[in-house]
């Protein structure tokens, strides 16, 4: 009997993970805010509040749009090939960068060998029960993440640092160039089908960068 009990306990994590619903079609909007508004200039705070992040997932494809008043960036990622295309618009200028799987991994080198730990802290976001995880980079910098345990995206590596999170990340911290931490929090989630055209790569109008 003891061996049976131990066997069941050993399988528990896999059984719990199997209960999470895989989301293969969704659109999620994130609001962006400086973690400590009082420590930043008002222009930066207002710019972040006017910026949105939209995530689109359809089977093995994903697209992330970052839209601000004076800049727009779209990252289209293909899980099958591990490649990505980055589209940037600055004023009337449009740029495209193509990354194969190796280049995509190299771009996220700072997340290699990072430590992932879990906390007992929880919160509810958009009706989903979320657990907290801590990501610690090799340089000692740490970031907090809250992920929904009931749902898992069908493609994860488009957010490379979250590829080992056992759920759908609905809130997380990131670091700006000057060292300030900003928080992304999901404000809307739509599980309706996403148009396949969202993942089309433009064939003209963009300057190709190496």
**Mean of the per-residue pLDDT values of the chain:** 86
| 39: exposed, middle or buried (Cβ count in 10 Å: 0-12, 13-18, 19+) | exposed
Locate tokens 């190496």: which residue? Answer: 210
Joined tokens for residue 210:
């190496």
Distance (Å, whole) CA 8 – CA 1: 11
4 falls within a domain: no
pLDDT digits (tens, 9 = 90+) for 8-25: 333 444 444 457 899 999
199 falls within a domain: yes
pLDDT value at residue 7: 36
182 falls within a domain: yes
pLDDT digits (tens, 9 = 90+) for 62-102: 999 999 888 999 999 999 999 999 999 998 999 999 999 99
pLDDT value at residue 87: 97
pLDDT value at residue 43: 62
Q: Is it the case that residue 204 has pLDDT exceeding 70?
A: yes
Q: What is the mean pLDDT of residues 34-50?
A: 65
Q: Is it the case that residue 197 has pLDDT exceeding 90?
A: yes
pLDDT value at residue 19: 73
Cα Rg of the chain, angstroms: 19
3 falls within a domain: no
Range of the domain at 132: 21-209
The pLDDT > 90 percentage for the chain reads 70
1 falls within a domain: no
Name the domain count of the chain: 1
CATH number of 143's domain: 2.50.20.10
For 39-45, which contacts have Cβ atoms below 8 Å and span 24 or more sequence positions?
39/180, 40/180, 44/180
Q: Is it the case that residue 152 has pLDDT exceeding 70?
A: yes
Structure-model confidence comparison of residues 79 and 42, the more confident one: 79
Q: From residue 138, how far is each of 112, 131, 159 by CA, in Å?
A: 8, 23, 18
Q: What is the mean pLDDT of residues 129-148?
A: 94
Tell me how crowded residue 125 is: count the other CB atoms within 10 A of its CB.
Answer: 18
At 8, give phi and psi (nearest 5°).
Answer: -65, -40
38 falls within a domain: yes
194 falls within a domain: yes
155 falls within a domain: yes
pLDDT value at residue 3: 45
């Amino acid at each position: 009997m003891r061996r049976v009990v131990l066997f069941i306990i050993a399988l528990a994590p896999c059984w719990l993970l199997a209960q999470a619903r895989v989301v293969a079609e969704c659109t999620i909007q994130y609001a962006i805010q400086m973690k400590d508004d009082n420590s930043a200039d008002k222009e930066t705070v207002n710019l972040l509040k006017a910026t949105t992040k939209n995530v689109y997932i359809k089977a093995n494809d994903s697209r992330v749009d970052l839209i601000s008043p004076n800049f727009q960036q779209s990252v289209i990622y293909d899980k099958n090939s591990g490649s990505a295309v980055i589209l940037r618009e600055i004023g009337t200028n449009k740029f495209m960068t193509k990354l194969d799987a190796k280049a995509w991994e190299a771009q996220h080198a700072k997340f290699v060998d990072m430590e992932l730990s879990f906390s007992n802290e929880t919160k509810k976001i958009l009706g989903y029960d979320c657990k907290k995880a801590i990501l610690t980079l090799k340089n000692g910098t740490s970031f907090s993440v809250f992920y929904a345990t009931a749902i898992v995206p069908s493609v994860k590596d488009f957010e490379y640092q979250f590829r080992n999170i056992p759920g759908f990340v609905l809130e997380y911290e990131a670091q700006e160039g000057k060292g300030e931490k900003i928080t992304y929090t999901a404000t809307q989630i739509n599980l309706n089908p996403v148009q396949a055209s969202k993942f089309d790569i433009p064939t003209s109008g963009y300057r190709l960068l190496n």
